[in-house]
Structure 1
């Protein structure tokens, strides 16, 4: 009897996330280390989890998700213009660079430098894959149910 992914399953799987142009944004197979997931623990969005529900151990599948179901749309409120003086003087700011910013509560948050113009630096705090349609490819290696 094959094991199916249920709402309380623990899952060992490989995944690849591809962008609209077919480029790979992330993949566990590149590192040869599968991901572990406890369904419902919040580590995946509900839409990603919904794609996994019902899949059987040993199967491969592919799903296409729009921005609303994947990493969300680009939120213009998450794009900030900062003065260059807020950055270390010796820090070379390049478009596309990802920097870590400390939030008021002490948590770290990544931001992507989108533009540097004179004394103005544009920083995007959206998820790097926000606004993208993605293809989510999975290979289910093992499924365990609670109590099994």
Structure 2
């Protein structure tokens, strides 16, 4: 049965950057080999189960799955505009340091600190000065061309 745009699909996958760096995988052995298991100690590296059209996977991957069937394997390259978008300075925000520290409460402010807006948009503190805090709301993979090796394991 060929995958359509509202099917539930289970895939195994490995995602790489242009330089070959593995940024995500469903393969537990590979995750251990490249250190992803240590970066994400709570994570279970297993095949991805997703309903297409739910917005849980990037557009380019969702589009490429259409028409595939169980057992199909494919290597695909997804440009930034079909993945996490281009990196843009408009997604960098400056906050008054005092207001920001009040907002995060008793958590320690440091570069690399992860925050989330009330709307659920994740960001990372990039710079702290005596007067302001700079937060980057670009996705960590923004601007990246992504290569995925996928195999369709199940379609419902």
**Aligned CA-pair RMSD:** 2.1
CA deviation after TM superposition for structure 1 residue 141, in Å: 0.7
1:1-148 alignment runs, 5 A limit: 3-30=1-28, 31-85=44-98, 86-87=100-101, 88=104, 91-101=107-117, 103=118, 107-144=119-156
Greater helix content: 2
Per-residue deviation, residues 76-134 of structure 1 (Å, max 9, x unmatched): 22100112212257543333332233x2xxx3332111222333221011222111111
Give me the whole-angstrom Cα distance separating, in 1, the residues matched to 2:92 and 2:6. 37
Give the number of equivalent residue pairs. 138
Unaligned runs of 5+ in 1: none
Residue 82 of structure 2 aligns to a residue whose secondary structure is coil
Give me the whole-angstrom Cα distance separating, in 1, the residues matched to 2:78 and 2:134. 28
Give me the whole-angstrom Cα distance separating, in 2, the residues matched to 1:96 and 1:24. 21
Per-residue deviation, residues 53-73 of structure 1 (Å, max 9, x unmatched): 122212221111111111101
Give me the whole-angstrom Cα distance separating, in 2, the residues matched to 1:48 and 1:120. 38
Greater strand content: 1
Unaligned runs of 5+ in 2: 29-43
